[in-house]
Homo-oligomer: A and B are copies of this chain.
């Protein structure tokens, strides 16, 4: 599944925004999303699972709590996809400078 398909949902994006600030328990995430979107714990849990399954987030157990963290790989795919458009807003940057600027390492581009 393409990274953008996962990010094409406001709840999932919000969850990732929360996790971008650091690890959080499922309950923490539920609290935020529930306040802002008015949906149930079940719905949030389902979205957390989608994020896990798609590789956007990872979990570890802490007692009865589940602690979620962002997994950056899929987000880098998005970053890579944008490369083809960057010339449009960084017009005066030659190829090498762009490579350096974007901190790009050698990596396989599986579009």
**A interface residue numbers (CB < 8 A to B):** 2, 4-5, 7-10, 13, 16-17, 20, 70, 72, 75-76, 78-79, 81-82, 84-86, 88-90, 93, 100-103
Complex copy number for this chain? 2
Docked Cα-Cα span, A70 to B10, in Å, equals 24
Docked Cα-Cα span, A93 to B88, in Å, equals 25
A-B pairs with lowest CB-CB distance, top 6: A8-B8, A72-B88, A20-B84, A4-B7, A101-B101, A75-B85
**Contacts known (A4-B7, A13-B2); A85 close to B103, Cβ less than 8 A:** no
Distance (whole angstroms) from the CB of A56 to the closest CB of chain B: 10
> A103 — which chain B residues lie within 8 A by C-beta?
89-90, 93, 101
